[in-house]
Structure formats: C-alpha cells, structure tokens
Structure 1
Amino acid sequence: MNNIIHFIRRYPLSLLCIASIWYLCIWFLPPELPELDNVAFLDKWTHFVMYGGTCTIIWWEYLYNHERMSWFNILQQGWKRLLLFAWLAPILMSGCIEIVQEYCTENRAGEWLDLAANATGCTLGAIIGLIMTFHRGKVR
C-alpha cells in the first residue's frame, strides 16, 4: 500500500493524464462540430497530442523525481524503466483501449490508425524526453 501512495505522490500528472485518456476514449462522446469537418485527420491529431503529451509528462515527472541523478546516470540506469513506462506501456494501453472500444462499447469503434497515431505520439514524447534529459545535463 505504501508503494502505491508513494507512486501517486511522485507521478500525479501522469496518472491524471492516463485516467483522462481512459475516460475520453471509452465513455466520452465528442460533440458534432460541423465547422471542424474540414480538418483532415482531426481524430488522429487528437490521439497524437494526447499520447505525446502524456509520454512527455511521464518523462518530465521521472526527471523531476530523479533530479539528483546526472543525465548520464539517468540514461545508464533508468533507460529500461523509461522505455517501458514512458513509451511501451502507453502504446500497449492504447491497444487495450482500441480493443475495448471495438468489443465492449456500442458507440465507439477501435481503429488501427488510432493505435498508429498513439504510437507516433508516444515516440515523439520519448524524443522530447531525451531532449529534456540532455538539456538538463547542459544546464548543470
């Protein structure tokens, strides 16, 4: 139980983003906005931004919680953890959400292109996280 409380205290924004994604993708029905019908791939851009932002926040909170570590030590010791929790886990969560949308909801449909947009957003978030890590090393 103490580990869960510790995790919630260290990663509140990440957990809020993850909970928001689940809510928006499963239970929220977006309103019909005819003025946005001309925006190509609006749904995919939304997925891209949601997952890119979430991965960036996960990375930022990790760096904030390990601020005493040098950028070299973060990449040497934490790269597997960051790869798992800030890149792969959100992509796997995205796949789970798409499956739930397809088979467990009546008004939503799972799409492979949503999963691709989510994975692309996660990859961009990881790249931004690497840039933040190296920039942090230059600032010190």
Structure 2
Amino acid sequence: MTHNKLFKYIQHFVPPFLPTIFIISCILYLSLNSFSNIPDTPLFHIPYFDKIIHFCMYLGLTLVFYFDWTRYSIITKKQKSTKYTWILWLLPILFGGTMEIAQKYLTNTRSCDFFD
C-alpha cells in the first residue's frame, strides 16, 4: 500500500478526531488510575522521569491533534486557518492542568503537581 493509498484509507475509514479521542482516553486512564501494585524498579529512580513521561504524553496528544486537524481540513475541503494554531498548544495545556486537578480531587493515591 503506497503512502497516498494509506492516507486515503485513513481519511475515509477513520472518523475525524478519533485518534485524538483515543489518546485523551489513554491519558485519562493513566492519570486517574492507581498503579501502586507495580513493583519498584530502577527505571522509576531516574531523575524527573515522571516529567519526561508527562512531556511525551502531551506532546503525543498535540501531534495527533494536529494530524487530525489537518486531516479534517482536507476531508471537509476547508482551508486550514493558521490563526487558530494556538489552539493546538492551548488545549493540551488546559487538559494537562485539568488532569492534575482531577488527580487531586478524584483520586486517593495521586497528587497534584503544578510542574507536571
């Protein structure tokens, strides 16, 4: 399957923003569940390891959101406006802040950290 055929397949069969919704669901699951039964390993003792994980999760969310946004503008044949690109960065930041607040108030095993 060539690159162009693969893109057309994805464009036709995957509803717009479904990958973004999937990534958001994964982040919700990982952020609000307790993983206290996982055995302690040396990997968890890397300095700022949790910050690296948060950065990767939200960068991944931003990239998938950008991909879906571009794909949506191609499907609907609408010009992708560059004046709204700030939304691509603002929404994951707001979602991350909301997740930190949710961890504080909706879970007993997770805590809220401004720098996450």
Same-fold status (TM-score > 0.5): yes
Q: Residues 87-127 of structure 1, C-alpha deviation per residue, up to 9 Å, x if partnerless?
A: 2122111111111111221100010110xxxxxxxxxxxxx
Deviates more, 1:49-58 or 1:29-38: 29-38
TM-score by length of structure 1 reads: 0.63
**Unmatched tracts of structure 2, length 5 or more:** 1-13
SS in 2 for 1:9: coil
Partner of residue 39, structure 1:
46
Which AA in structure 1 matches 2:59?
Answer: G
Partner of residue 62, structure 1:
69
How far apart, CA to CA, are the structure 2 residues paired with 1:61 and 1:113?
Answer: 28
**Unmatched tracts of structure 1, length 5 or more:** 1-7, 115-140
TM-score by length of structure 2 reads: 0.74
SS in 1 for 2:21: helix
- Which structure's residues are more often helix, by fraction? 1
RMSD of aligned Cα (Å): 2.3
- Tell me which of 17, 21, 24 is aligned to 2:23: 17
| Matched residues, number | 101
Deviates more, 1:29-38 or 1:57-66: 29-38
Instruction: Judge conservation of contact 2:103–2:112 (CA < 8 Å) in 1.
Output: yes
